[in-house]
Amino acid sequence: MVERRLTEQGDNTYLTAGNNAEARSGDLERIREQSHAFNIHTNAFYERLNSLGLGKKARVLVDFGTGTGGSLPILASYAKHIIATDIEPEKIEAGKRFVKAEGLNQTTTFDFPLGGIASLNLKSGSVDIVNGRLIWQHLNEEVRSNEMRAAVLALKPGGLFVAEDMNLHTWNLQPSTETFSWFLRKLIELYGIKGTEAGMGPKLRSLCEDNGLEVVAEDSYVIESRADDSFKNIHLGIFMAAQAGLINEERGVMSAKQFSEGMVQLRKDVLDATRSIYAPQMTQIAARKK
């Protein structure tokens, strides 16, 4: 496992900050900043694949759950055409603006369909790489199975499935506090209620092998934040973004009062300069279609 420190379907568990435009806009910016923070690791993994002679000549790449396009600057180096999918219209539009602002469309062509892989009706064996970062954890078992079958069917023989996901159970504040532990338990509880997977990272290998793919590379990493590291705010943003899901009356995970009062203390705990916070361990995997 690599440890590095950075100094610089239905409702998504992390994208439920609210329905007003200001809340949604702020959440999109958080997701974009978060994506960029992970990019050093995503880029290193793709460079490793490249050194193994994999993914060098991709013509078509599907970025499943592209979000606001944070991974696209890396992926554009490996494909002539990218199909960037997402279920959130706001994120699709943000991704389009990002591609244009970064000039990525000068060397790579892009499509931004709304939906998942299964809804694309891609021709069998038409895709070189299917990429998905921080998406599989948000899908329940049925949807995950359907999307995985669609991904494998779309891949060419020898094509690559590349995934990157977290194990929420490893999120760690040191020294820990009662408030942080409580919020984390509640967030994991929300995943269980929705039928999604808080510990997806360690299960990526079985996801690949159960669908007949051959694992060719695997890695993991943790991002550590200390003192005034700006990434500490990302941790708080994830809890804030889950607000609507956590205080949903039907789910009964917590009350609005518990959330608001808890967030006051959680902010103090996380931003405390004497504490370090370790993001959930991320697992990266690449598997080849036989």
Q: What are 112-141's pLDDT values in tens digits?
A: 999 999 999 999 999 999 999 999 999 999
Which residues of the chain, if any, have pLDDT below 50? 1-24
Q: What is the DSSP letter of 138?
A: G
pLDDT in tens, 89-117: 999 998 999 899 889 999 999 999 999 99
Asked if 29 contacts 17 with a C-beta cutoff of 8 angstroms, the reply is no
Look up the pTM and report it.
0.88
What local confidence, expressed as pLDDT, does residue 5 receive? 32
| CA-closest candidate to residue 212, choices 165, 159, 282, 167 | 159
| CA-closest candidate to residue 83, choices 105, 55, 107, 63 | 63
Q: Which amino acid is at 23?
A: A
Sort strands 2-5 and 213-226 into parallel, antiparallel or unpaired. parallel
The CATH number of the structural domain formed by 2-289 is: 3.40.50.150
Angle between helices 232-241 and 21-51 (to 10 degrees): 120
Task: List the domain boundaries for the chain.
Answer: 2-289
What local confidence, expressed as pLDDT, does residue 26 receive? 52
